[in-house]
């Protein structure tokens, strides 16, 4: 759901300002192929904004290396990202959208064992983002971690369970 005073537009208005691929992902809830996005392995200091409406969504201080093939963040700028239940493809996931314009960003996953303050992974399509190079101040929670790596122990547990 898009908030009141939002930056919502009709599909024809979005088609006029977004590329075909941006429209497919941001407006039709598509997904870019893993490992193909501009910001997957990008770790400069700044702010990630919505590619549709330019609303600030994530600070670089919350981005981490998850190894999933998409940019991963452990938290959003407060109020910038909304969560919705997504029952597509026979599973239940939590979709994340830009609160201002309703643009599809990706999904959030909990309890994967990453060494982050929230134990969440916001898995975001790069094409849903733009990057603004600017100085970012960390909050106390953000300073507890600096780009944690994917948890190797959990991966080895999963793999060992497959070959028993």
Task: Determine if residue 79 is left, alpha or beta; phi over 0 gives left, psi from -120 to 50 gives alpha, anything else beta.
Answer: left
- The active-site residue, picked from 53, 98, 101, 123, is 123
Helical H segments across the chain, by residue range: 11-17, 20-22, 152-162
Closest alpha carbon to 150 in 69, 73, 72, 65? 65
Torsion of CA 18, 52, 24, 121, to 10 degrees: 150
The reply to whether 101 belongs to the active site is: no
Q: Which residues does the annotation mark as catalytic?
A: 123
């Amino acid at each position: 759901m898009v908030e009141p005073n939002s930056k919502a537009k009709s599909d024809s208005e979005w088609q006029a300002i977004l590329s075909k691929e941006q429209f497919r992902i941001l407006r039709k809830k598509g997904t870019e192929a893993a490992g193909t996005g501009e910001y997957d392995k990008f770790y400069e200091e700044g702010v990630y904004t919505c590619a549709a409406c330019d609303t600030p969504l994530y600070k670089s201080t919350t981005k981490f290396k998850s190894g999933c093939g998409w940019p991963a963040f452990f938290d959003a700028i407060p109020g910038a990202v909304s969560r919705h239940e997504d029952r597509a493809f026979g599973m239940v996931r939590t979709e994340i959208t830009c609160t201002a314009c309703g643009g599809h960003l990706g999904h959030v996953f909990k309890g994967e064992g990453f060494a982050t303050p929230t134990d969440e992974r916001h898995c975001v399509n790069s094409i849903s983002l733009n990057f603004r190079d600017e100085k970012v101040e960390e909050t106390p929670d953000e300073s507890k971690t600096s780009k944690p790596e994917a948890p190797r122990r959990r991966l080895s547990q999963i793999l060992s369970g497959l070959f028993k």
